[in-house]
Chains A and B, each alone.
Chain A
Amino acid sequence: MDAPLHVESLVKSYGSRPALAGVALDVGKGEIVGLLGPNGAGKTTLIRCVVGRVVPNSGSITIFGEPVGSAHARARIGYIPQEIALYPRLTAEENLAVFGRYAGLAGGALAAAIRGCLDWAGLAERSKEPVMGFSGGMRRRLNMAAGLLHGPRLILLDEPTTGVDPQSRQRIYAMVEQLRADGASVIYTTHYMEEAERLCDRIAIIDNGTIIALGTRGELVRQNFGSRGYLVLHCDGESASAHADWAAARGGTVNGASFRFPVSDPASEIAEILQSARAEAVQVRDLSFTAPNLESVFLHLTGRGLRE
């Protein structure tokens, strides 16, 4: 069976500025792939290429084996843009009816799809109200529902939790997990690392138009940090600077009033470092242990410099 999404050597430039420089990506059935990257990295261009709204300079994209833009491919894609792409004066139900018709639904199938999507988004009781009166979270949920009326099998979610409260965010997570449970494939674009860690089976990090890392969360951490974590000892300023040589001898660094030590075996190494600090009369006031996470990987790969 053809993969829900197969992207190969995708190149797109706007004038002399490259937006995508040879992107390759596959998404399997029932898989959620997170797409992370700094602003201007090429995420939106990639998504718009998959939807058929941007024509690449070279490379290929197939959706369940069909080329982008074909009727078959269009019918299987559900695109949920980052913006609230709804008609604010229409009610939730009317909005769903409009987009359902645009997707080719009619009659009983349309009515059933509207009912199903309203339930899925938790908006059945507010279905007769104009969208302009909805909260940010309700609009987000309806925005998602409007892209899923025709039962797409490949869903492109572009930052679906931007600007919503924690309760709505949890609800959106549950909605996405339900999509996976139903066998749909999802590309999930976000700037929130914790939701990528929670939801995504694999994560692609894109920067300067290239996918620079791709794998599960664990794989990405291991590839970039091995099994290392960091022990941070917080001291008073004088004590930290007076014991810089001691820290360097143990592979640590001084950062203001703190020492930072790489740790591969926390159970034994942390105790050793603390005993040594006591012997050296280092005035430790507080300590913390940090295991590398997705954000560590992201910052490690894309740097800390500001982007667009």
Chain B
Amino acid sequence: MILSIVRTGFMNLRRDRGALTLSFIVPIAFFSIFAGIFGSRNGGTDPIRIAVVDEDRTELSKRLVEALQTEPGLKAETGPTATKGAPPRFYDSRTAEAAVRSGDFPVAVIIPKGFGDSPIQFGPSGKQTKLEILNDSSDPIAAQVVYGLIQKSAMMSLPDAMASEGAKYLDRISGGLTSEQRTRVDQSMRDLRAYSESRRDEAAAGKAAGSASSKEGMTGLISAEIRDVVGENKKSPLVAFYAAGIGVMFLLFSASAAGGAILDESESGTLDRILSSRVTMNTLLLGKLLYSAMLGFTQLTVMFLWGALAFKVELFRHLGGFILMASVTALASAGLGLALASACKTRAQLGALTTLVVLVMSALGGSMVPRFIMPELLQKIGLVTFNAWALDGFTKIFWREEPVTHVWPQVLVLIGAATLFFAIARRLARRWEVA
């Protein structure tokens, strides 16, 4: 008897595509996305993109810049990509800060004037020129990693400077070296320099890759000051981001549920009754789109109001930007909900499809894990979801505090998505019109 019950279960499951999708496809899709995000396929993380500004322009600063550029854990850029034939352009402290503010780089490193005179200092009385690390505090890890990699790069590229500064320090605390000791120290400096140049050449030839895990105890020899240029005054840095992220994800679920009302109406015969009255399919779908968008806007408003009350999200400082982004996001979600509902025959089918689509879109689009911690390829793939565009828009408004006019690309993409989804829904809804 127990076996009969088991057999019945499998017979039903085989015919239930929704349950099959939820049982097998959704977990596999999710596993693949998160495996991609956390780099389990190659065991490593993507290099951190940084902008580097060399204000010092000395031999030592150039060597440090070159070391940062060859460091496998970093992707260091000294200037925007130049168009063909145009002279190369370099970041300065102002443009680098702007690049961090706009989200082009999570971190910028500025090597100030005077760095070459005193790159490293030993001992408490050291007078040293500090590097400046400009940070977008929405990524709390990047600046710390960059700081560590600067130490490593300095060790690899400036061993002569390290030793020289060390010798000076020893000289100072020991009362001076003999002339024979001095000669040997100078010879060692030359050897170290030759060694560092040979390593740099090897690195340039790609032979020195894979040494990112070196953990010499040199932390702090190159002094740097980390300065948050984005979110420096925020009390709860990522709350606005998550309010938008979670808000958009649940918006998609509720939009699908609202769109699914048409399936109930079809099943109950209400749709027949409606379409035999004065209501046309265009009117019906537009009405449902508007309802679903208004519901979504209200949901987002409630979410941000709670965020403002409980977590100090600065809703009222950015009210205009919020209204704009919430409107277009809700409209795009409503369109997707209608398209999903029109593609399904039953509520059960819609439930399974919605779970698959919404969770995958939310994972790729950054509703669950911020896109900036994803590998670059996944970040680009994420842009096919409108979650990513919506979250970018909300981030610009609430995190980067950019003016409302700066979100026009996001607004256009979301309106375009809403139009596309509505067109798809309208095309699929033809099956309900006349037979």
Chain A residues in the interface with B (C-beta under 8 A):
14, 48, 51-55, 71, 74-75, 77, 79, 81-87, 99, 102-104, 146-147
A54 contacts B435, C-beta separation under 8 Å: yes
Q: 25 A-B pairs, CB-CB below 8 angstroms? A: A51-B272, A52-B276, A53-B272, A53-B275, A55-B434, A55-B435, A71-B278, A74-B276, A74-B277, A74-B278, A77-B276, A79-B272, A79-B273, A81-B273, A82-B269, A83-B268, A83-B270, A85-B268, A86-B270, A99-B277, A102-B278, A102-B279, A103-B277, A103-B278, A146-B273
B268, B276, B279, B435: which contacts A79 (Cβ < 8 A)?
B276
Q: Which residue of B lies closest to A86 (CB)?
A: B270
B 269-290 binary contact with A (CB < 8 Å = 1; else 0): 1101111111100000000000
Range for the number of chain B residues in contact with chain A: 10 to 19
CA distance A14 to B273 in the complex (A): 22
B278 contacts A75, C-beta separation under 8 Å: yes
B270, B276, B278: which contacts A53 (Cβ < 8 A)?
B276
Task: Assess A54 versus B434: contact at CB under 8 Å? Given A85-B268, A85-B270.
Answer: yes
B 254-279 binary contact with A (CB < 8 Å = 1; else 0): 00000000000000111011111111
B 403-435 binary contact with A (CB < 8 Å = 1; else 0): 000000000000000000000000000000011
CA distance A75 to B276 in the complex (A): 9
B278 contacts A85, C-beta separation under 8 Å: no
CA distance A288 to B413 in the complex (A): 81
CA distance A51 to B268 in the complex (A): 17
Q: Which residue of A lies closest to B269 (CB)?
A: A83
Task: Assess A53 versus B434: contact at CB under 8 Å? Given A82-B269, A84-B269, A85-B272.
Answer: yes
A-B contacts, CB under 8 A, total: 54
CA distance A147 to B273 in the complex (A): 8
A54, A79, A84, A104: which contacts B278 (Cβ < 8 A)?
A104
CA distance A84 to B265 in the complex (A): 10
CA distance A226 to B149 in the complex (A): 106
CA distance A80 to B268 in the complex (A): 12
Q: Is the interface of A mostly helix, strand, loop or mixed?
A: loop
B269 contacts A53, C-beta separation under 8 Å: no
Given contacts A14-B435, A53-B435, A103-B278, could you give 4 more A-B pairs where the C-beta distance is less than 8 Å?
A71-B278, A82-B269, A84-B268, A104-B277
B274 contacts A102, C-beta separation under 8 Å: yes
* A-chain residues with CB within 8 Å of residue B269 when the two chains form the complex: 81-85
CA distance A111 to B277 in the complex (A): 18
* A-chain residues with CB within 8 Å of residue B272 when the two chains form the complex: 48, 51, 53, 79, 81, 85
